[in-house]
Amino acid sequence: MSAEPDYATHLRDTVDRAAPELRAIPENVASHRPAPGKWSIKEIIGHLIDSASHNHQRFVRARWQNDLVFEGYQQDDWVAAQHYQSVPWDELVTLWHTYNRHVARVMALVPYDVAHREHRRHNLDQIAWQTVSADRPATLAYFMSDYVAHLEHHLRQVEERRAAALR
């Protein structure tokens, strides 16, 4: 059996390290919106749960597709529709942590040849966090690594908002 891909290990290690740090954030700080139209920490974590949900399905479906074309979603609408702002903080953190541990398992189980197969047809120019031009080939391994980078980006936002609220 081959070694687990770095992106799967990195995702699991990141969420395992971040979960206790997130749980230490007081509910009132997690609920604070820094400005009108800006997400609270709760809503950022909610967005990351939505991202996990969408990408979990994409990573599984990619095994049987001949392309990397996936449906997008309206992030702000999803966050608003699910009222993450009113969900107990610990419940959100638990769901986020557990779901991402599962996504890391899914990533680790994708066969190497599937993860690294180049696809000329993809829409990572539209749905990836760090996009890939439509005229360049893309791999599922890139998309999974991009998922982890996106998650880390938002965890940095959470830390910035936590620090600002505690000043």
Banded pLDDT at 2 (limits 50, 70, 90): low
**Alpha helices (H) in 62-119, listed in sequence order:** 75-81, 89-109, 112-116
Contact 72, 127 (CB under 8 A): yes
pTM over 0.85: yes
Q: Is residue 79 part of a domain?
A: yes
Q: Is residue 48 part of a domain?
A: yes
Q: Is residue 36 part of a domain?
A: yes
Number of domains into which the chain is organized: 1
Q: Tell how many helices (H) and how many strands (E) occur in the chain.
A: 8, 0
Output the pLDDT for position 165. Answer: 85
Domain region containing 132: 6-165
Phi, psi of 68 (to 5 degrees): -120, 55
pLDDT for 46 beyond 50: yes
Of 73, 51, 65, 56, the residue nearest 8 (C-alpha): 56
Task: Provide mean pLDDT across the span 134-139.
Answer: 98
Contact 98, 23 (CB under 8 A): no
pLDDT for 1 beyond 50: no
Q: Is residue 59 part of a domain?
A: yes
State the CATH number of the domain containing residue 32. Answer: 1.20.120.450
Contact 27, 81 (CB under 8 A): no
